[in-house]
Chains A and B, each alone.
Chain A
Amino acid sequence: MEDITLKEIIDYAKINEDNARQFYLNAAEHAKRDNVKTFLLALAKQEQTHIDRLNELDKIVDKGGRIPKPHGIVKPLGYAEHLGNVTIDADADYQQVLKFAMAREKEALESYQKYAKLVDDKKAKDLFLLLAGEESEHLRGFENQYDDFMKEIENW
C-alpha cells in the first residue's frame, strides 16, 4: 500500500462516518414507523459523535501531538456473521435497522483491520488499529442491543 498520512486516514474515516450519518438521516425521513424514525435519528446523532471524535484526533495530528495507543479489539458476539445483504426501506422495523447497523460496523471494523495489515508505517498502523478498536466497540454495542431486543420480544 502506498504511503498514507495520518490526516488522510482520519479524513477517510470521517467520510465513512458522515456517509452513515447521512444514510440514517435519509432513512429516518422516509421511515413509516415513528419508533423506527426516532431510532434512526438517534443513530445519526451517534455517528455525529464519532465524527466529533475524529475531529479531535485531527486536531492532535495538526498540533503534532500523540495519537492515543490502540486499545484492542472487543470480541464480537458473532451476530453480524451471515447477515447477508441487509437494507433499510421505508417499512423497516427496529430489528432490521439493528441488523443493518451491525453489518455496517462489522464492515468498518474489518476494513480498518485490513488496512492496518497493509500499511508499513507504525503510526498509520496504530491509527487504523485504534479506529478498528472503536468500531469493534460500536459493533459490540449493537450486538448487545440486538440480544437485549431478542430477549425482550421473546416473552411469550
Chain B
Amino acid sequence: MSDEIKDEKPKKPKVPRQPMPEQDAHKRARNFEEVTTGYTEEQALLEASRCIQCKKPLCTTGCPVGIDIKSFIGLISEKNYLGALGKIKESSLLPAVCGRVCPQEMQCENVCIVGKKNEPVAIGRLERFVADYQGKHGGGDLPKCAPSTGKKVAVVGAGPSGLTAAFDLTVLGHKVTVFEALHKAGGVLVYGIPEFRLPKAIVEREVKVLEAMGVEIKLNYVIGKIKTIDQLMQEDGYDAVYVCNGAGLPWFMGVPGENLNGVFSANEFLTRSNLMKAFDFPNYETPIKKFKNVAVVGGGNVAMDAVRTALRLGAENAYIVYRRSKDELPARAEEIEHAGHEGVKFQLLTAPVRVIGNDEGWVSGMECLQMELGEPDDSGRRRPVAKKGSEFVMELDAVIVSIGTSSNPLLFQTTPGLGQTKKGYIEVESEESCRTTKKGVFAGGDIVTGAATVILAMGAGRNAAKNIDKYLKDGEWWSKENA
C-alpha cells in the first residue's frame, strides 16, 4: 500500500454511491433516447459529499489528462456548478462527452481512495452533471484568445483530437482550419457512438463553440483526395498540419461469404444509423433494411453499440458472437450489463468460419466453430482452441463485423516522407511531442495509438497544440537519425 493511501485513512461515506437513473430496459431496447438520464441536483450533491477531499488525491493521477477532480467536486459541494465546469475545462474540452463515455472504472474511479473500502465516488457522473447543468442553464463565456499570430494551422479530421487541438491553437492566437471528410464534425462521437449513449446535440453544441471562436470547419473535405498535405503547406500557406484522422478502416474476418449482402462492418452499420439517421427513415434519406436475426462478431464497446443499435432497429434476436469467454470481453462492464438487460444474447467461445448466403446473395446464416480455453501458455494467457467437429450454423439475416479497425492507407500513399509504424499507424517522435517524420506535420489520436479512447485522443490534441505552438515560434524539428 502506498504512503498516500496510508495517509488518507478512508472514512466510510455516510451516503451510498448514487445510482444513475436510467430508462427501463425493455422500453429503451426499442428507442434511441439516451439510456441514462443523469443525476438530479440532489443526487449530485449527495454524491459530491462522498468525496473525502483527500490531501493527496490519486484520482487525478488516474485521469489521462490530469483533471483536478478533487477541486471540481469541492466546487459542486459549494453549488458552484459553473466553477466546477471551468475547473474541468482547464484540462478537458468535452466534459459532457467524457462524463458519458470515459471508462472511469479503469481510470480515475479505479484509484479513488474512497473506493479502497467502499464504492468509489462516481466521478464521471458528476462530470456529466456539471456539463449538462451548463447545457440546460447556459452560462460560461467563450474563452479569451491571444492576439493573432498570423500563423495558419490545418487540422485533418474533426474528431475529439482535432476539435481539442483546434480549440487550444485558436486560444493561442493561430488561425485554424479543420478539414473533415464527412458531412458533420465530431468523428466517432457523431458517426460511431450511438445517440442512446451520447446525444449528438452535445457534440453539435461544442462544435458551435469552436466556430464562434473563429475556427473554420470545412466538411466533405477528404485530405489526400481533394488536396494533399503537401499542397496544404506549399500552396495554401499552412505553417503546420495536425493529422488526427482516426483509425476508421475496419478489419474483416477474412472468411468465405463475407461479401454477401447483409454483411456490414460495425462502422458502416453505425454510420448509417447515427450519422445518416437511418433509424428515422423516411424522415431522413438513408434507408436501412430491418433485420430479424443479427449477429455482431466481436466483444468490444463498438460491438455492444452495434448490437444494441440492431435491437433498436427492430431485430428479434441480436447476438454477440465472440471467440473468447465472458471474462475476456473487452467492452466496459456497464455496456455488457446494459446489453444483457436489453435482451442481447451472448454466443461466447464461438468463432465464425463462413457466412452462408441464399440464392439471391443475401446472408442466411453463419457457420461457427465452438472454442474452449486452452491451458495457460508461457505468458499465462489461455488462448481459445477450436473444438474438433463442433461446427454449427446460426440462422441469420445480417452479420456485423466488429473485430477492430486500423488506419486508412490514403494519407501514407499521398504524403511522401510520412513514416508508418509496423502496425500501420503514423510514426511519431513520441506521443508527447506528436512530431511525425515530416517537418511541420504533427499527428495524434487513434491514428497514432490505434483504436483507443476519447480522452486519450483529446489529450493528444492538447499535446499537439502545445508543440505546434512551440514549432511555430522556434521552427525546430527532430531527426530520426539523431533520436
* B374: chain A residues within 8 A (beta carbon): 77
Of residues 361 to 382 in B, which have CB atoms within 8 Å of A's CB atoms?
Answer: 369, 374, 377
A154 within 8 A of B: yes
Which of A147, A150, A154 gathers the greatest number of chain B CB atoms within 10 Å?
Answer: A154
- Report 28 cross-chain contacts, Cβ distance below 8 Å, ordered by A residue: A33-B409, A35-B420, A35-B422, A39-B422, A77-B383, A77-B386, A78-B369, A79-B386, A81-B353, A82-B255, A82-B369, A84-B255, A84-B354, A95-B251, A144-B383, A147-B383, A147-B384, A150-B404, A153-B404, A154-B298, A154-B330, A154-B403, A155-B330, A155-B451, A156-B330, A156-B404, A156-B405, A156-B451
Given contacts A77-B384, A77-B386, A147-B384, contact A153 B406 (CB under 8 A): yes
B424 located at the interface, meaning its Cβ lies under 8 Å from any Cβ of chain A in the complex: yes
Report the Cα distance A153→B409, complex, angstroms: 17
- Interface membership of B256, Cβ < 8 A: yes
Taking Cβ atoms with an 8 Å cutoff, the residues of B that contact A are 251, 254-256, 298-302, 323, 330, 353-354, 369, 374, 377, 383-388, 403-406, 409, 412-413, 420-424, 450-453
Q: Contact at A94–B424, with CB atoms within 8 Å? A: yes
A144 to B383, CA, bound (A): 8
Q: Is A99 an interface residue (CB 8 A)?
A: yes
Given contacts A34-B420, A150-B323, A155-B330, contact A81 B369 (CB under 8 A): yes
Other-chain contact of A144, B300, B377, B413 (Cβ < 8 Å)? B377
* Known interface pairs A152-B450, A154-B330; 13 further A-B residue pairs with C-beta atoms within 8 A, sorted by A's residue number: A32-B413, A35-B421, A78-B369, A78-B387, A82-B255, A82-B369, A93-B251, A95-B251, A150-B323, A153-B451, A154-B403, A155-B452, A156-B330
Closest to A82 in B: B353
**What's the count of A-B pairs with C-beta under 8 Å?**
81
B254 and A99 within 8 A (CB): yes
**Inter-chain contact A35/B404, CB cutoff 8 Å:** no
Across-interface contacts of B451 in A (CB, < 8 A): 153, 155-156
Residue A38 lies at the interface, judged by CB distance under 8 Å to chain B: yes
For B388, list chain A residues within 8 Å (CB): 78
From A38, A78, A79, A156, residue with most partner B Cβ within 10 Å: A156
A-chain residues with CB within 8 Å of residue B421 when the two chains form the complex: 35
Q: CB of A96 within 8 A of chain B?
A: yes
- With contacts A33-B409, A35-B423 taken as known, whether A153 is within 8 angstroms of B384 at the C-beta atoms is no
Assembled-state Cα–Cα distance A33/B251 (Å): 15
Q: Return chain B residues, CB-CB under 8 Å to A32.
A: 409, 413
Partner of A153 from B251, B385, B387 at Cβ < 8 Å: B251
Chain B residue, CB-CB nearest to A147: B383
With A147-B383, A155-B330: A34-B353 Cβ-Cβ less than 8 Å: no
Chain A CB within 10 Å, residue with most, of B301, B404, B424: B404
Give the residues in chain A near B383, CB-CB below 8 Å.
77, 143-144, 147
Chain A residues with CB under 8 A of B423: 35, 94
B384 A35 Cβ-Cβ under 8 A: no
B405's partner among A34, A35, A96, A153 (CB-CB below 8 A) is A153
In A38-55, the 8 Å CB interface with B consists of: 38-39
Determine chain B's interface SS by DSSP, over half rule: loop
How distant is the Cα of A77 from the Cα of B384 in the complex, in angstroms? 7
- Measured between beta carbons, the chain B residues less than 8 angstroms from A144 are 377, 383
- By a CB distance below 8 angstroms, the chain A residues around B301 are 156
A window 80-119: CB within 8 A of B: 81-82, 84, 86, 93-96, 99
Tell me the bound Cα distance from A20 to B238 in angstroms: 48
**Is B422 a contact partner of A78 (Cβ separation < 8 A)?**
no
Residues of A within 8 A of B403 (CB): 150, 153-154
Kindly provide the distance from the CB of A35 to the nearest chain B CB, expressed in whole angstroms: 5
Minimum Cβ distance to chain A for residue B160 (Å): 13
Kindly report which residue of chain B lies nearest to residue A99, judged by CB atoms: B254
Closest CB pairs A-B (n = 9): A78-B386, A153-B404, A82-B353, A35-B424, A155-B451, A156-B451, A156-B300, A34-B420, A147-B383
Q: Chain A residues near B409 (CB, 8 Å)?
A: 32-33
Q: Which residues of B contact A153 (CB under 8 A)?
A: 251, 403-406, 450-451
Check if B254 sits within 8 Å of A155, measured CB to CB.
no
**Chain B min CB distance to A78 (Å):** 3
Closest to A77 in B: B385
Give per-residue flags for A55-90: 1 if the beta carbon is below 8 A from chain B beta carbons, else 0: 000000000000000000000011101101010000
| B residues near A152, Cβ cutoff 8 Å | 404, 450
- B369 and A154 within 8 A (CB): no
Task: Provide the residues of chain B in CB contact with A95, threshold 8 Å.
Answer: 251, 254
* CB contact under 8 A between A155 and B424, given known A33-B409, A77-B374, A147-B384: no
CB-CB nearest in chain A for B252: A95
User: In the complex, what's the smallest C-beta–C-beta distance from A40 to chain B, in angstroms?
Assistant: 12
Contact A154 to B404, CB < 8 A, known contacts A33-B424, A35-B423 = yes
A79 neighbours in B (Cβ, 8 Å) = 386
Q: Roughly how many angstroms separate A95 CA and B421 CA in the complex, as a whole number?
A: 16
Contact A38 to B422, CB < 8 A, known contacts A154-B299, A155-B404, A155-B452: yes
List CB contacts (< 8 Å) of A118-156 with chain B. 143-144, 147, 150, 152-156
Q: Most B CB atoms within 10 A — which of A38, A78, A143?
A: A78
CB distance from B74 to the nearest CB of A (A): 33
Q: Once the chains are docked, how many angstroms separate the CA of A90 from the CA of B369?
A: 30
CA distance A146 to B423 in the complex (A): 14
- What A residues does B255 contact at CB under 8 A? 82, 84
B42 CB, min distance to chain A CBs, angstroms:
34
Once the chains are docked, how many angstroms separate the CA of A153 from the CA of B420? 17
* Set of chain A residues within 8 Å of B377, measured between Cβ atoms: 144
